[in-house]
Amino acid sequence: MTTYSEKVLQAIHEENLAEAQLMLTKALHNDDEDILADLGDELLSLGFLEEAQRVFQELVSLFPEVDGLNIPLAEIAIEDNRIDDAFEYLEKISKDSDSYVQGLLVTADLYQVLGIPEVSESKLKEAQQLMPDETLIVFALGELYFTNGQFKEAIEAYQELLNKEVTTISSVSINERLGSSLSMLGEFEESIPYYEHALREGQTDDRLFQLAFTYIQLEDNQKAIILLQQLRMLNPHYHSLYLFLAEALQEEEMLTEAKEVLDEGIKENPYQVELYQFASENAYRLHDVQRAESLLIEALALEEKKDETLLTLSNLYLNEERFEEVIESLKQMEETSHPYAEWNLAHANNALENFELAKSHYQKAAQELSHEPEFLKEYGLFLREEGEIDSSRELLQQYLHYEPTDSEVISFLEDTDER
């Protein structure tokens, strides 16, 4: 005979919520406690929190001595952001209760929600002392460390699980987590076997992308390209793939293929500024100056990273010797004192024979670019033309620390020394 609890779940499956509410009321009055407990767990897993709460509150009223019933009520309160209620439920679980360890795990979750990971850790370690062989506690510690960026500690926890031949908990791949933790520490080579193992467990978009990203960090572009092309075929809506795939293709001098990927990426996600910026760079390398310019102008319309785009646009104009447009583009920047913008303004004004303006911009740029060899040389040669020989010599001597074999500069310095 079908129970009312089963009818509740059937109605939910059929998306008949009014019927589900009616059957729930009947279940609370007619079904026994074991069936109701199973119903509460099922409703909780399906996300029907209010209905699950009704079930567990009914069970608590029938069996107030069973303090473990407060745990799902605490979990529901946490989901509803009723923090005080959650604490109240958890405080009802005594230390000698069979449910105490489970209560510690939920308490750890609660403190994590509150942003107090130190207390979460202490609760989990207390639980681990009581149940040292419980893999769920080791996993919870690993997840806590992973979330908080404590990747060395996370690696220890995940490795302990793998040593016990535990590869998946709550649909989370331990191999994937271990690979991610190693990758976050910059240990890309070591992370690859774990990512590959996770892929063998089950192919997902994220796993393909993570492994491809790791190969990019190792400058193994060919393997990255294969994985990202595979991901592109499986899920063209995975927006993160396009920029990385285009960069890998460009690194391999596959510029036409990179253009195709970038065009598709912009169609998929027309609001990602970085796609336009990189597509512009790629177009310029394909000698399509007009398209490179138009892509940057399109990027400006998105109203994000405008200064970065304007600076890139000024670089394009500078390379094309369109000096008036260099100046006009940089006037639109919000951060007017950007050192590379000052350098471009100096270069453009010098080319337009606005020497006093050029000198002013060189001086401003020099405050931040004393480490930039190309700037030191350009500024030094400018000062030479302005007749400021001592200042010029000082800058060019600095430049030779970076480029000691530059014969042009060596010859100039020898010439000034002879004078």
Residue 350 included in any domain: yes
Residue 202 included in any domain: no
| Percent of the chain residues past pLDDT 70, beyond the cut | 99
Q: List the structure tokens of 282.
A: 């790629």
Does this model's pTM top 0.75? My answer is yes
Return phi, psi of residue 172, to 5°.
Answer: -100, 125
Contacts of 355 (CB under 8 A, 6+ apart): 349, 386
pLDDT confidence bin for 232, thresholds 50/70/90? very high
Are 388 and 351 in a shared domain?
Answer: no
Region 92-117: mean pLDDT is 93
Residue 211 included in any domain: no
Q: What is the pLDDT of residue 336?
A: 78
Which of these, 222, 213, 284, 289, lies nearest to 251 by C-alpha position? 222
Residue 403 included in any domain: yes
Which of these, 321, 256, 240, lies nearest to 291 by C-alpha position? 256
Separation between Cα atoms, residue 305 and residue 325, nearest integer Å: 19
Above 60 in pLDDT, residue 418? no
Residue 329 included in any domain: yes
Residue 297 included in any domain: no
Q: CATH no. for residue 348?
A: 1.25.40
- Domain containing 386 equals 370-418
Using one digit for the tens of pLDDT, what is the confidence trace for 48-63? Answer: 999 999 999 999 998 9
Residue 356 included in any domain: yes
pLDDT confidence bin for 104, thresholds 50/70/90? very high
pLDDT confidence bin for 419, thresholds 50/70/90? low
Using one digit for the tens of pLDDT, what is the confidence trace for 354-391? Answer: 999 999 999 999 999 999 999 999 999 999 999 999 89
Query: Where do we find the tokens 């940057």?
Result: 296
Count of domains forming the chain: 2
CB 72 within 8 A of CB 41: yes
Q: What is the pLDDT of residue 417?
A: 64
Using one digit for the tens of pLDDT, what is the confidence trace for 197-225? Answer: 999 999 999 999 999 999 999 999 999 99
Above 70 in pLDDT, residue 396? yes
